[in-house]
Amino acid sequence: MRPEHCYWLCVTPRSGSSLLCQVMAASGVLGHPQEYALADYMPAYAKAWGFSSRWGVTDFRAYWARCLEEGTSANGWFGMKMAPATYLEAFLSQVRTLPEYAAPEISADDVLRDFFGDLRFVYLTRRE
């Protein structure tokens, strides 16, 4: 299942992103952005949804189907929060464990666009 529209809220630390995610989710029309791809949080989400072993996710495809379901609002918008400078490579390496994305000649951009569809990036930074 792919949502109609996706955005990643690309953040830097201490930028107010948690508050922004709460406001976006409360709007009811901007998805429910969470840090679904953060390795530290994945086991907790996986456990709550029944896709976990003691240390991690047992079924990555099922886990992401559930993330897309949980993170999508009724109007078809999926939101996700990520610090790409820190976690993008780790996320891509997980996606590349799926056979359809394993070929090294498939670019990261192509992997993300195919995996998420209509993907947009919103950058949130903090001025010192």
What is the CATH classification number for the domain harbouring 12? Answer: 3.40.50.300
Q: What does the pLDDT look like over 70-95, one tens digit per residue?
A: 999 999 999 999 988 888 898 899 89
pTM of the model: 0.84
79: tokens are 């939101």
Which residues 6+ apart lie within 8 Å of 38 measured at CB? 82, 87
Domain count, the chain: 1
Domain range for 85: 5-124
DSSP 60: H
Provide the pLDDT confidence category of residue 56 given band limits of 50, 70 and 90: low
Q: Would you say 80 and 6 are in contact if contact means Cβ atoms under 8 Å apart?
A: yes
